[in-house]
């Protein structure tokens, strides 16, 4: 069984395939995870589904701009980067993703608030963000 660290396939899917189970588009694959982008109210939601599980483990809300999401994902390496950029909320109580090779990129993988800003930098979503020092 191939582990995530031996992945040679590119992360972003060249041909976006429809995922009927999640009513979204599979935009990327990493190991046994598929990254699905779906419409959710006024937002787009990017989720990571592991294997044939019925739930998703990680999720991020983006504004409705598919090109912007893809631009962020093109700059993203799921092997060494915890979370992509550009989102404004982690929906619900999903856990914070930790990349398997995260120690290779400590600058990128600094702690972030629930709105995606690095802790210690300005949170543009909530001026009273509970994750930021006030």
Q: Which residues bind Zn ion (CB under 5 A)?
A: 113, 115, 123, 129
Nearest to Zn ion of 29, 89 (CB atom)? 89
* Smallest separation (angstroms) from Zn ion to the CB of 16: 30
81-116 b/e with 16+ CB inside 10 Å = b? bbbbebbbbbbeeeeebebeeeeeeeebbeebbbbb
* Smallest separation (angstroms) from Zn ion to the CB of 130: 8
Nearest to Zn ion of 51, 127 (CB atom)? 127
Nearest to Zn ion of 49, 113 (CB atom)? 113
* Smallest separation (angstroms) from Zn ion to the CB of 25: 28
Q: Where are the beta strands (DSSP E) in the chain?
A: 12-19, 24-30, 33-40, 43-50, 58-63
């Amino acid at each position: 069984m191939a582990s995530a660290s031996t992945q040679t396939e590119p992360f972003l899917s060249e041909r976006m395939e429809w995922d009927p189970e999640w009513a979204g588009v599979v935009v990327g694959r990493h190991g046994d995870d598929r990254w699905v982008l779906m419409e959710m109210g006024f937002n787009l939601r990017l989720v990571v589904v592991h294997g044939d599980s019925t739930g998703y483990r990680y999720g991020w809300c983006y504004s409705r701009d598919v090109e912007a999401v893809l631009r962020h994902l093109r700059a993203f390496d799921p092997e060494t980067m915890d979370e992509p950029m550009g989102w404004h909320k982690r929906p619900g109580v999903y856990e914070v993703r930790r990349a398997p090779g995260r120690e290779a990129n400590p600058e990128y993988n600094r702690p972030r608030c629930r709105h995606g800003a690095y802790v210690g930098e300005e949170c543009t979503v909530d001026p009273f963000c509970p994750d930021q020092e006030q």
